[in-house]
Amino acid sequence: MDTLQSLLQGFSVALRPDNLFYCVIGCLWGTVVGVLPGLGPLAGLTLLLPLTYQLDPASAVIMLAGIFYGAMYGGSTTSILVRIPGEAASIITCIDGHEMAKQGRAGPALMIAAIGSFIGGTVSVVGLMLFAPPLAKIMLQIGPAAEFGLMVLALLVLSFVSGGPPLKTLAMVLTGLLISTVGVDLITAYPRFTFGQIQFTEGISFVAIALGLFGVSEILINLEEIAKVKVIKPTLRSLVPRLKDLRDSAPAIGRGTVIGFIFGFIPGISHVISTFVSYAVERKLSNEPEAFGTGKIEGVAGPETANNATTGSAMIPLLVLGIPAIPATAILLSALQIHGVQPGPELMSKHPEVFWGLIASMYIGNIVLLVLNLPLVGLFVNLLRIPYVYLAPGVLLVSMIGIYSVNSNANEIVIMGIFGAIGYVLRKAKFDPAPLLLAIVLGDRMEVSLRRALTISNGDWWALAQGAMSKIFLGAIVLLAVLQGAAWFFGFRRRMIEDADKV
Amino acid sequence: MTASLRRLEIAVAVSLLLLGAFATWGAAEMPFGTAAMPGPGMMPMALGLLLMLSAAGLIVLELRAPATDAAVVLGNRHVALGIALIIVAGLLFERVGFIVTSTLFLFVMLASLSPLGWWRSLLAAVAASIATSYIFQNLLGVTLPPLPFVT
């Protein structure tokens, strides 16, 4: 009953005309960045983040969440019509989606992707609504020692599921944690690595780092290969799927929803992994596994549903624990913190309008996306005709304005450029910058909770393993470390990557 | 420019090793505190040392791995231009104002990337800068640096 009342309160926030407007703008911008190759949800979020500073926290997070799941929707369009994934989670959709388009069935592929995305996204929000409140009650009882264990566990899970070799991920995590120490020490106010510069006393701007590492570096990589794309343009009439398409897709959509929701909890690249798992499951369960890759609609329905079903569950660690599971939710965390709202177990009680407003807006956003995507698919496809040579300078200019507007400090543009170059080199050397970004976000809390736990226990390191929650987290850390070691030893990871390449 | 992937990976690992060494050296000058009252130097010191260890591990692994001829394209003039222009724009932004910086940035980008030619690139850059300035300042309420000597 409480949940229902809170949800109604959330709808009263989300249905305010200004918030509806921001929700639509977020969904629209998200779809655009999802459609445009090289501008995924992360770049879309970071580009628009500075412009949300003038909004109230609920409006800001509603718009940013709209970008997040809008990009998940939009990514499938380019995968199907051009065979270029708009973002990483749509890679697998290229296989059967584009084959369907080549056979003149682009319309049903887009329609099923949109329906699957809608169902996956909506069910996922229901899960978020049901799981978040009880989890928050448990998390309210944990002390600094358990909080430190939770942070270590989050970073360890990230290194376990991240695509690259564990040592590379560890190096990125440590670099991120090190960057988070720049600025005034939160406990003693001692300046660390500030080089006497006032602008570094609050640390290096997270937004400048995020924009550089993801937005700018992505554009730089795309500038290397400026190619014209051949677009298959569907008509509105051809969007209607056959009854057989709906019948074939329904089980795949159901399974994709469950897979996506479960994988959304896992930090790292869960939205990408969930699509691969969903595709593999559909092929395994199919009566004609050999037909996958030749335009099977289940190969579109399952992964696209899974991809969107991660959006709700990925919000649970962010909203309940204050831990972003993926880089996109790290941007949402940063946006909330800038507005003085700290995500975590107290979010629901201290800022119910933000928490429930966001949940209600996600229901509305999924409907907005369904309504937007189908009639406007022709318009979105035309965006692909804009040559990248005109798009790239425009996006870079907007990034510069965005980053300047945060603190009216032009030095942050320089920092963004430097981190753009760093991100470019890291990607070329096969280092994933996502763990670095997440570690920057978690760094402060991790250090403060460790130092507080040690102070409370008078320097007793064993205190980190006291208490039920600490023991659970420590047990999970040990288990993961053992699994990681075993996987490394038996070369399991190499075989898994080889198998994924064959897919 | 094409570079060996292995050499690039080693170069990044060496950079991380140096970063770890720098952090350790910097942290050594900060109060370390005690176990019961850890100081501001404890975390950077531990992280610096761990980063050095993991970077050293990466270097050893790369050197011991079987040789491959995997190569990566590492930048071309468009990439170098993009990075340089962002940094120069950051340095000019408050000194010469948004319109001048934006015009310069867009003109150089368009003239070198697009088939417009420099005259049309200049016209497009000026028009886009004025339009962008109007949209962000008048419609979105973002304050941008004015032209010099203009209050």
Say if B145 is an interface residue toward chain A (CB within 8 Å): yes
Residue A370 above 60 pLDDT?
A: yes
Output the average pLDDT for chain A.
Answer: 81
Number of Cβ atoms within 10 Å of the Cβ of A138: 11
Residue A492 above 60 pLDDT?
A: no
Say if B109 is an interface residue toward chain A (CB within 8 Å): yes
Higher pLDDT, B111 or A312: B111
Residue A503 above 50 pLDDT?
A: no
Q: Chain A residue with minimal CA distance to B132?
A: A398
Say if B46 is an interface residue toward chain A (CB within 8 Å): no
CA angle centred on A44, ends A38 and A45, rounded to 5°: 145
CA angle centred on A72, ends A237 and B86, rounded to 5°: 115
Instruction: Report residue A38's pLDDT band, with 50, 70 and 90 as the boundaries.
Output: low
Contact B43 A187 (CB under 8 A): no
Which A residues 235-274 touch B at CB under 8 Å?
none
- Interface A-B: count of C-beta contacts within 8 A: 187
Query: Tell me: the pLDDT tens digits for B45-103?
Result: 999 999 999 999 999 988 887 777 777 777 778 888 999 999 999 999 999 999 999 99
Give residue A164's pLDDT: 65
Q: CA-CA distance, A337 to A53, in Å (whole number)?
A: 11
Q: Nearest CA of chain B to the CA of A422: how many Å? A: 10
Chain A interface, mutation test: which of B18, B43, B137, most A Cβ atoms within 10 Å?
B43
Contact A193 B83 (CB under 8 A): no
Q: Chain A residue with minimal CA distance to B106?
A: A393
CB B109 within 8 A of CB B115: no
Q: CA-CA distance, A6 to A16, in Å (whole number)?
A: 16
Contact A412 B90 (CB under 8 A): yes
Q: Nearest CA of chain A to the CA of B64: how many Å? A: 15
Instruction: Report residue B29's pLDDT band, with 50, 70 and 90 as the boundaries.
Output: very high
Q: Chain B residue with minimal CA distance to A177?
A: B47
Instruction: Report residue A500's pLDDT band, with 50, 70 and 90 as the boundaries.
Output: low
Residue A405: its chain B contacts at CB < 8 A?
136, 142-143
CB B148 within 8 A of CB A413: no
Which A residues 36-75 touch B at CB under 8 Å?
51, 54
Q: What is the CA radius of gyration of chain A?
A: 22
Q: Nearest CA of chain B to the CA of A464: how many Å? A: 13
Contact B40 A187 (CB under 8 A): yes
Residue A485 above 60 pLDDT?
A: yes
Give residue A2's pLDDT: 73
Sorted by sequence, the CB contacts under 8 Å of residue A162 that are 6+ apart come out as A169, A268, A269, A432, A434, A435
Q: Nearest CA of chain A to the CA of B32: how many Å? A: 11
Burial call B34-57: b when 16+ CB within 10 Å, e when fewer:
eeeebbbbbbbbbbbbbbbbbbee
Give residue B42's pLDDT: 93
Of B31, B54, B128, the CB nearest to A170: B54
Contact A220 B142 (CB under 8 A): no
Of B58, B74, B98, the CB nearest to A167: B58
Instruction: Report residue A239's pLDDT band, with 50, 70 and 90 as the boundaries.
Output: low
Determine phi and psi for B72, rounding to 5 degrees: -125, 150
Sorted by sequence, the CB contacts under 8 Å of residue A442 that are 6+ apart come out as A151, A154, A155, A177, A180, A323
> Quick one: CA dihedral A207, A208, A210, A215, positive or negative?
positive
Range name among A263-277, A379-393, A435-449, B16-30 with the lowest pLDDT average: A263-277
Say if B20 is an interface residue toward chain A (CB within 8 Å): yes
Q: CA-CA distance, A111 to A89, in Å (whole number)?
A: 18
Q: Nearest CA of chain A to the CA of B134: how many Å? A: 12
CB A435 within 8 A of CB A173: yes
Say if A380 is an interface residue toward chain B (CB within 8 Å): no
Q: CA-CA distance, B74 to B70, in Å (whole number)?
A: 13
What would the 3-class secondary structure string for A401-434 be?
HHHHHHHCCCHHHHHHHHHHHHHHHHHHCCCCCH
Of A170, A397, A450, the CB nearest to B106: A397
Q: Nearest CA of chain A to the CA of B120: how many Å? A: 13
Which A residues 419-448 touch B at CB under 8 Å?
420-421, 424-426, 428-431, 447
Give residue A174's pLDDT: 94
Output the average pLDDT for chain B.
Answer: 89
The model's pTM: 0.79
Contact B105 A428 (CB under 8 A): no
Q: Chain A residue with minimal CA distance to B124?
A: A390
Number of Cβ atoms within 10 Å of the Cβ of A490: 10
A57-82 helix and A106-139 helix, angle to the nearest 10 degrees: 150
Which A residues 189-228 touch B at CB under 8 Å?
190, 192-193, 216, 219-220, 223-224, 226
Residue B128: its chain A contacts at CB < 8 A?
394, 397
Give residue A267's pLDDT: 62
Contact A220 B79 (CB under 8 A): yes
Residue B8: its chain A contacts at CB < 8 A?
425, 428-429
Instruction: Report residue B143's pLDDT band, with 50, 70 and 90 as the boundaries.
Output: confident
Higher pLDDT, A289 or A171: A171
Query: Tell me: the pLDDT tens digits for A216-232?
Result: 887 888 787 665 556 56
Range name among A18-27, A66-75, B55-64 with the lowest pLDDT average: A66-75
| Greatest mean pLDDT range, A394-398, A475-479, B51-55 | B51-55
Query: Tell me: the pLDDT tens digits for A93-112?
Result: 888 888 888 888 888 888 88
Q: What percent of chain A has pLDDT over 70?
A: 89
